[in-house]
Structures are given as structure tokens and as C-alpha cells.
Structure 1
Amino acid sequence: MLKKKVAFHTMGCKLNYAETSTIARKFSNLDYQHVPFNSYADIYVINSCSVTKNAEIEFKHIVRNVMNKNSKAFIVAIGCYAQLNPKEVSSIIGVNLVLGYEEKFKIIDYINREWFLRKKYYANIISKKTYFTSFSVGDRTRSFLKIQDGCNYKCSYCIIPISRGPSRSEKIENILKNIRFLFNKGVKEIVLTGINIGDYRKNEKNRPLYTFFDLIQAIDQIQEKVRIRLSSIEPNLLKNECIEFLSKSKHFVPHFHIPLQSGSNEILLKMNRRYRRELYQEKVNKIRSLMPDAYIGSDIIVGFPGETHQNFLETFHFLKKLEISSLHIFTYSSRPHTQSSTIQENVSKKIQGKRNQVLRILSNKKYRFFCKKQIYTKKTVLFEKNSRHKEYLYGYTENYIRTKMRLHSYNFSIYENTLQDVLIKKIDKDGIMIVEPIN
């Protein structure tokens, strides 16, 4: 009997990557043949995103491309778009099965049941008790490990609390067990992911049993030699005690991604963010005082309803002075059922685009400035797996600088998926640092 071919595609955040990998492992190699998403398959599983309207449009485009490969394919939609609006996703031509948050982890059962009953959708309300362990393994040098899901915050623009449910966390003992499992699988770097990882906590009868600070202390006690990165963490939840501890950690690398969203306190208030820019400045200064070479990334939303030219200038000048390494810039996208979708003071797409471009230029300048400061310093690079036909071997330093090493000078197989001490020599036109190994 021929095995059915199955392919997976992930949209959106690192948490989605972790969950896609976990779901893919449910398709036993005994019954299914895993193939690349750009090839012919019998089943296509698309892990969707709904953070912006563009993500939903992109999902429809992906479905059309899949149908061009195989018009008779069985297409399964999972992820935030599927959870948020399962009926709408089900109505998209080509989509055969739509599974919500809880249902996607039982995907094999649903496929076996619904293969001949097309156009079915399932998405239950996510409860505080619903949690599924997820991590990526096998196809990447690094692994994304979910430690937390959902969010209790009510940022006025964000649909994630609706599509992901309330904040809930994995047990510390399970996280430690999964880290050791991944290490034994050959993973050299693990990224702790979640929707709001700083809100990691376990409660019993409304009393906290342990917190995010307890978690990072426990992780740092493991004996395995593995690098640990944090994914995005809210500035108000990045406590000074955590920063001080991380600066001395033997496992956690000096890499922070701290969303700002706006440098205008007026806009932060309209966004329902739980801090003001002064607190953000304090956190950046604290990190820089203890870890001068730390990578600090940030998220910014431009064109939020009511954002005036003056508000934008406040953001620009605040960021210009801030000692951060790069920016992820998002153009505001109105989402249904959010508070900001009712605000009438919309910023035109033309102005949104200009503001986005201005901050992208600023981000590029900041990143190159940060990289140039690292020239002629010694770093540790985790080199990725590569093809024999490529000229360079790529990787990342502990402080998240993209690097490359020319292959013809060295036996690349020695360096693949290994941590190596290197000397940073120079930066190329694409902002990638050229390195040489230190013998």
C-alpha cells in the first residue's frame, strides 16, 4: 500500500513553528511520507496566522498555490485564523478541514474521519486548562520550545487573546525534561517561546507556585551544554532581577527582544500597553550596563489610529537615541473584535507606508552600527547545516549576529551543527558578518 504524502507550512510566529513540528510528528513514517511543501502531496497542512489582515490574504494565496500542485489534495487549515474564524476559513475554495486550537493536536483522528466528508470545521472555546506541549526538532539547528500559551493582556489592537485564549504555562519539570530530550537529539540551541513568556507562572488556589524568574533559574541548573534564547518578552515583565541573573548565566545568551510598539506615551495609552516609554528606556539601560554587547531587538507599530505626525516624531527620536540593535516594524492592521477597530481616526495607507519606510531605514542603520562594534571581537557561532554546493556556512553568534564562513578554506562538515569560537572580520553589503574560526 502506497503511503500518503503529507506536507506542512507554517505562517507567523515561532510558537507556530513549534506546534507545526509537534503536529507533523503525529504523521507516522509508517503510514505517511513527509515531503517539502513546494512539492506534490496528498495532504497539505497549513498553520495559519491572523495577526494582520495580510496574513489572512496570504493564507488564501497559499491555498491557491497548493491547488495548482494537486487539485485533488486534502487541505487542512490549523492555527489562529482557523481558531478565530473557522467558518470563514472553511468557505475558502480548496480547504477541506479546519481545526481549532485543541482539535489540531488530534489531527490524525479528524483526517481519518473526515477524508470523504469535505468542508468540515471544528473550533472549541479555549479554556484555562487547555495546554499542549510543543517543540520543534529534526529540521533545524535550533529548536523552539513552548513554555507558555495565550495572553491575559488586553492590548487594544491585538486579536491573540481571542485566538489563543487565556495565559497558561507548562510545568517546570516538563520544560526541563524537554530540554534534555532535545539536547539528546543533537539540538545545540533552544528558543523558549510563547505568546507572553514573561507571564509564565503556575498558580494554585490563586497563589503563585512559581514564576518566570523561578523558571530561568531552574533551567540554568541543567548540566547539558546547550544555548538558551528568550523569545519576545514584555518590558514590564522583564524584571531587573531577571536581567541581573541572565547577565551571569551559563546557558542563556545575551539576546533580548522587547516590544515597544510606540515611542509616544499618548499612543501607548491608547494601545492599552502596561508601561510607558520611560520604563522601556530603563530596561534597555539596565541591559546595556550589564551586557554591553547584548542584542536588543524591538517591535514597532506604525499608523495606529490617531497616531499624529507629532506622535510619530516622538517615536522616531526616542528610537534614534535608544541603544537597541534592530526593529521589527509592523503597519497597523485593524482586527475584528478589538478595541482599536472602533477608533475612527484612521491613518492613510500612504502615510503608514512612509512611516514604515522611515523606521526601516533607521533599523538598518542601527543594525549595521551594532555589527560594526563587534568587528575583531571573539564570539561563539552555532553553524547551521548546509548544502555542499553553497559557498558559505552560516550561523548566529550568541548575541544574534548573522555570520558566514567561506567553505573552500575549511572542511565544513566539521563545523555543521557545532558551537565554534570565531573572530569577526568584517561586515558584507547584506549586513552579514564574515568570520574565521579560532584554532
Structure 2
Amino acid sequence: MTETIDLPVETAAEPQNAAPRRKLFIKSYGCQMNAYDAQKMTDLLAPAGFDETQTLDDADLVILNTCHIRERAAEKIFSELGKVREVKDARRAGGLATQVVVAGCVAQAGGGEIVRRQKAVDLVVGPQNYHRLPELLRRAEAMPVIDTEFPVEDKFDFLVTPPRRVTQARGVAAFVTVQEGCDKFCTFCVVPYTRGAEVSRPVEKIVAEVADLAAAGVREITLLGQNVNAYHGEGPDGRVWSLAKLCARLAEVPGIARLRYTTSHPNDMDGDLIAAHRDLPALMPYLHLPVQSGADAILSRMNRKHDRAAYRDIVRRLRDACPDIALSSDFIVGFPGESDADFAATLDLVQEVTFASAFSFKYSPRPGTPGAEMDEQVPEAVKVARLAALQELLDAQRLAFNRSLVGRTLAVLFEKKGRHVGQIAGRSPYLQPVQVEAPEALIGRILPVEITGLASNSLFGRLMPEETQRL
């Protein structure tokens, strides 16, 4: 599945303090793990002389950090690369050099085909190899380089801790990857092929990263993994720790007030983790737990290794442990073989469980996955109609959940300036944006807010009177 095309040319580097700073433009697609990876690439390249820019035309280095989950992901990247090539050509005409990198899961899946189709690309690097970027960029000055082999070394051992001022500029909430890869092999998914087998970072390294973030003012951490609740990292006692035990340890880090984790698999939702939602105040009462379908026949064809009853039982146990918990999920409609009755079963499950939020998609075949080769592919028109019906139901549930919060008092972590002068914006325990009229000095604090209204995608509130009196 992988190939390596490179020319190991060593170039003499000038002393770092003598070299002019260069500009890096990085665009990340898809999941939160890609957003985390993009930050780590930025941090890694800073000592090599790169400062981030938001303007493509100014960039000496362009990185597209890609995602393979969405439909026609590769074609969308090639469309973007066409625009990047035009910028590279224009800069070359002005005597300026530009290196172009395709990173992430499309890079892992596409390999040499990316370079063959788009000659502007200098480097293709998979998601497990970006810690090699400085070296790979030097080699790519001679000819295109492709590095998509799964490395022996752990990339996290080579990543750079950014200066405190950089972390502070990123805000009071942060992502931390604790687990990567997937052993589940759902028949619709490319992740096991692009991210590799499930691996977990050691507890002490995660704690150290979180402590650095907390020291810079971060209050909320979201733990990331392709199957984050499959976490099984080595603890300081030499034993394997679960995600529940990791969360308990991270809640002890001074300054960390909130913990979240995503994305979960139902099969890894064990009793200890469910109990953590009851016992650990820092663990937010909001859980993304993808089910994909409500029909047992389709779940079997998807190789999900759980059925409808098992999912319902997990939901029941979670709500028994934490009555205030709200759920989010993923759904795929039109998977091969999905009948009208199967789709009706999905609607029925949604109506029974009720979700505060959800992501829903039409099935689209991914090359190399078993689903792409299955018989009984569902016609596009049927998929479109089913998706519209499902999204109508999910949107109604989301709106109903948001309305149920009006009049309640929620703890809000204020993160940034609001949309209008005099406003600040934060996040509720359920991840909704909350707009409040209050001074910017409160950014970084968690305060009680009475929810007074809502818009399509956010809530409005006011600080409780006792909090207002303290300002």
C-alpha cells in the first residue's frame, strides 16, 4: 500500500540564527485529530525557521493536512492543489521558492499517485511520519519525496513543546491525542489502512503534555483518538491504564477543570468509563458515541461488532450513571443492502434514544474497503431522500435539546470575544457556543450563566446576579 520515492541528498544548512524566517501556511481538513496534528507540525517547524501565516500567497511552505473520511476527499484535495500550483507558479515568476506538502490520510492512501497527478507537490507524508518534516523538506529540495511507511519510532517522542505564548494564543481549550489507529475494520472505513493499528501513548507523557498546557492557562482538554475509549497506555506503575483511569489522573492536574474525549466506539464503553461519568466532576456530561445504523442487518454488514440492543443498553447505563448526559452520534444512510425497513429501524432508534447533536452522511465507497465491493449498492436518489428524512429528525431533536436549556443555569467556560462589542463567548458543558454580555477579563473563567435564548447554532445567556456583583 505504500511506496517511498526519495533522494537522500544532504544540504549544508546555515546557522539557524543567520537564516531569515520563512512563512508556513497550513490548511487542515476533517477531524479534530487533524487539527491537533496541524498544531504539532507548526510547533515542529518553528525551530526550523517557519512562522505561521494565514495568507497562502505569502507562504514559503504550504501544507495541506488531509482527511480521507468524507466523500470524494482526494478529488477535493486535487482541486485545492490546483489553486496552490497557481500560487507557486506566480511566486516562482517573482523569484520566490515555495514547497508544497500533502500530509494526512489522503497522503497515506494516495502515495506516489499524488505526485504523479500534481507536479507542484514536493512532499507526501503520512500522518505517522510528520515528525520527520524538517529532514524530509531538505530532501525534497532535490526531488519529490514520499514517506508513507509506518515508522518504527514513536512520533510523539520527536514533537516539540511550543513556547507558552503560543499556547496562550491558541486559547483556553486544547486537544491532546492519547490514542491512534483502529483495529475494528468497519467495512466502510479507511482509518485502519491510513492510521494503522491501535496504539496508546504512555500515561506519563500525556500528563506532562497536559501539565504544560495547564501552565499556559488551558482549562479544558479534549482527549483524542480514532477509538479513544480503547486507550490502553502504560501507567507509571508499569500496568496498563484504561481511559477512565487516565481521566482520573488528568483531573488532578492543577488548572484543568474540564475533560472530554472523542471519538468512542460502543464496544469499548466499559463499566469503569461509564462510572467515571458518575464520579468524575471534570468529565463533561456530553458524549459522542457513533452507532452508524439502527438496523442489526446493516450493523453486521458494517462489521460494527455490536447490535442495536447492545447500543441501547450502553445508553441506558450511561443515563443511569449520569442523568444529565447528552449524546451525539454518527449515522451513515444508504449502506449497501440497506432496505426501507432497515432505514426505518434507524429512524426508530433515533426517536428512542434522542440525540443532542449528530453527524449524518450518505454512504460513499472508499477504494480498498470491503464496502466498496459489496453488492446491493443503494441508488443515489434513495440515499439523498433518506439523508434528508434523517437530518430533519436529528435537527428537530437538536433544537428540542437546546430549547430545554433555556431557563437553566449552566457552567460556561469563556474562551474568546463574542460576535458583538461587549460580548464574550464560551462553551456550555454540552459544547454549544454561549454568548454573554460581559467584560473580556472573564475569558478563561468558568462561571454560572442563565440561558435566556437561542439561535440556530448557539445559546444566549446572562451572568448570574451574584457573579455580576463581583465584577
Q: 1:132-169 deviations in whole A, cap 9, x for unaligned? A: 26799442431110000111112111110010011110
Question: CA–CA distance in 2 between the matches of 1:38 and 1:385?
Answer: 25
Match of 2:13 in 1: none
In 2, distance between residues paired with 1:32 and 1:130? Answer: 24
Could you report, residue by residue, the CA deviation over 1:42-79 in whole angstroms, capped at 9, with x for unpaired residues? 11111111123422222122222333444343211111
Q: Which residue is equivalent to 1:286?
A: 317
Among 170, 187, 211, the alignment partner of 1:180 is 211
Q: 1:140 to 1:88 in 2, by over 3 A?
A: farther
| Distance in 1, Cα, partners of 2:407 & 2:71 | 44
TM-score using structure 2 length = 0.85
Q: 1:272 aligns with which of 255, 279, 303?
A: 303
Two-structure CA RMSD over aligned residues (Å): 2.3
Alignment match, 1:43? 61
**Candidates 325, 328, 335, aligned match of 1:297:** 328
Determine the structure 1 residue equivalent to 2:451: 424
Of 139, 156, 159, the match for 1:113: 139
How many residues are treated as equivalent by the alignment? Answer: 430
The 1:130/1:337 distance shift into structure 2, 3 A limit, reads farther
| 1:18 is aligned to 2:33 | no
- In the superposition, relative to structure 1, how do residues 368 and 292 fare at CA in structure 2: closer, same or farther (>3 Å)? farther
Superposition deviation, residue 29 in structure 1: 6.2
Where 1:166 maps in the other structure, the secondary structure is coil
Q: Partner of 1:357 in structure 2?
A: 388
In the TM superposition, 1:320-339 aligns within 5 A as 320-339=351-370
Cα gap change, 1:225 to 1:65, in 2 (>3 Å): same
2:100 alignment partner, one of 64, 71, 75: 75
CA distance in 1, matches of 2:389, 2:282: 36
Tell me the equivalent position of 1:342: 373
By how many angstroms is 1:308 displaced?
A: 1.1
Q: Give distance in 1, aligned partners of 2:103 and 2:155.
A: 16
Distance 2:44 2:421 in 1: 33
The AA in structure 1 aligned to 2:453 is K
- 2:243 equivalent in structure 1: 212
CA contact (8 A) 2:247 2:259 kept: no
Give the secondary structure class of the aligned counterpart of 1:143: strand
Task: Find the residue that maps to 1:82 and give its secondary structure.
Answer: helix
Residues in 2 aligned to 1:300 and 1:268: alpha-carbon distance in whole angstroms = 11
2:140 pairs with 1:122: no
Shift in alpha-carbon separation, 1:223–1:246, aligned structure 2, 3 A: farther
Q: Which structure has the larger Rg over C-alpha atoms? A: 2
The alpha carbon displacement at 1:2 in A equals 3.8
Rounded to whole Å, the distance in 2 between the matches of 1:220 and 1:350 is 48
- Post-superposition shift, 1:387? 7.0
Which residue is 2:83 aligned to? Answer: 65
Point out the more displaced range, 380-389 or 339-348: 380-389
Instruction: Tell me which amino acid in the other structure corresponds to 1:425.
Output: T
Shift of 1:213: 2.9
Q: What SS class does the counterpart of residue 381 from structure 1 fall into? A: strand
CA 1:156–1:265 in structure 2 vs 1: closer, same or farther (change >3 Å)?
A: same
Q: Unaligned 5+ residue runs, structure 1?
A: none
Q: 2: distance between equivalents of 1:431 and 1:40? A: 34
Letter in 2 for 1:34: E
Is the counterpart of residue 245 in structure 1 residue 272 in structure 2? no
Q: Bigger shift: 209-218 or 155-164? A: 209-218
CA distance in 1, matches of 2:149, 2:441: 49
Relative to 1, partners in 2 of residues 1:319 and 1:174: Cα closer, same or farther, differing over 3 Å? same
CA 226–160 in structure 1, closer or farther in 2 if over 3 Å, else same: same
- 1:415 maps to 2:467: no
TM-score, normalised to structure 1, is 0.91
Q: Which digits, 9 at most, give the CA deviation of each residue in 1:170-210, with x for residues without a partner?
A: 01111111111110111111100011111111479xx9733
The answer on whether the counterparts of 2:131 and 2:155 sit within 8 Å (CA) in structure 1 is: no
Unmatched 5+ stretches in structure 2: 1-18, 93-97
Tell me the distance in 2 between the aligned counterparts of 1:225 and 1:33: 29
| Alignment partners' CA distance in 1, 2:26 and 2:182 | 26
2:262 equivalent among 212, 231, 252: 231
> Which amino acid counterpart does residue 37 of structure 2 have in structure 1?
E
Distance 1:286 1:7, change over 3 A: same
Following superposition, the deviation at residue 218 of structure 1 comes to 2.4
